[in-house]
């Protein structure tokens, strides 16, 4: 697809030091999260398998937060249309940040579905298609990929913002209406162990930093693509 090739070309055209810094920071933070999970306390029922759940829960929470943030940024785009305080610069930035958040959330959702499938097999002895929650997660991922492809093919900021605004609402409805077979109800929040909650929070915070780094890079890619075809409207 020509759009994907242009994105890849722009990434490779970034200043090497900047590209290496962004990628090394992201990789370092991911390694830090894995190390935290390795040293995190075990749980009497799950034992050492809880380390996988630490990571799974963290990427899930961050993915959901990013979907919501993307929707709110999309809403701000339309607020900028009604109350043009910042003009086109504000609207353009809100659309780009919203789409950067949506793309980053999609990457986290891939990790969510992957770790969830592994966890279902190792911990509960089931497969992802046995768990209704993971089936819906797969549907949400498919919707996110379609949304991403539409943004690549259609250069319409109002459409981008509208899709990003609608997506978290659909995601919430799908998750709310879906039952659970193996999947627990927020086990970390229900835990009586302060140390378990602390490590879950630290791992989640680490992945939030990963998300911020990724969003910034994706935002810069989008702005770089626009600068090739139109004057810069602000950063």
Query: What digits encode the pLDDT tens for the residues 74-95?
Result: 999 999 888 777 778 888 899 9
| Average pLDDT score over residue span 116-139 | 76
| Average pLDDT score over residue span 130-139 | 81
> Residue 137 corresponds to which tokens in the numbers above?
């997660």
- Residue 130 is given by DSSP the state G
Give the total residue count for the chain. Answer: 235
What gap in Å lies between CA 181 and CA 187, rounded to an integer? Answer: 14
Q: Is the whole-model pTM more than 0.85?
A: no
- Residue 128 is given by DSSP the state G
What gap in Å lies between CA 56 and CA 148, rounded to an integer? Answer: 23
Q: Does the structure show a pLDDT above 70 at 4?
A: no
Could you count the other beta carbons within 10 Å of the beta carbon of residue 48? Answer: 10
Q: Does the structure show a pLDDT above 70 at 137?
A: yes
> Residue 127 corresponds to which tokens in the numbers above?
């497969």
CA 73 to chain centroid, in Å, comes to 14
Percent of the chain's residues with pLDDT above 70: 77
Q: What angle do CA 168, 170, 175 make, to 5 degrees?
A: 90
CA atoms within 13 A on the CB side of 78: 14
Give the pLDDT score at 119: 79
Give the pLDDT score at 177: 73
């Amino acid at each position: 697809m020509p759009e994907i090739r242009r994105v890849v070309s722009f990434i490779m055209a970034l200043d090497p030091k900047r590209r290496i810094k962004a990628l090394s920071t992201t990789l370092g933070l991911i390694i830090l999260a894995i190390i935290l999970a390795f040293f995190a306390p075990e749980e009497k029922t799950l034992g050492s398998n809880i380390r996988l759940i630490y990571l799974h829960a963290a990427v899930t929470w961050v993915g959901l937060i990013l979907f919501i943030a993307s929707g709110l940024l999309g809403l701000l785009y339309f607020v900028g249309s009604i109350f043009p305080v910042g003009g086109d610069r504000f609207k353009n930035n809100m659309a780009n940040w919203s789409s950067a958040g949506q793309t980053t959330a999609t990457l986290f959702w891939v990790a969510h579905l992957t770790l969830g499938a592994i966890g279902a097999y190792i911990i509960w002895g089931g497969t992802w298609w046995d768990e209704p929650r993971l089936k819906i997660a797969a549907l949400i991922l498919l919707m996110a990929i379609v949304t991403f492809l539409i943004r690549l093919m259609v250069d319409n900021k109002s459409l981008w913002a509208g899709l990003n605004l609608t997506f978290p609402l659909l995601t919430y409805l799908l998750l709310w209406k879906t039952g659970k077979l193996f999947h627990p109800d927020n086990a970390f929040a229900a835990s009586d162990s302060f140390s378990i909650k602390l490590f879950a929070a630290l791992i989640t915070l680490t992945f939030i930093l990963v998300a911020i780094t990724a969003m910034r890079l994706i935002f810069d890619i989008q702005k770089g693509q626009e600068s090739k075809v139109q004057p810069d409207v602000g950063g």
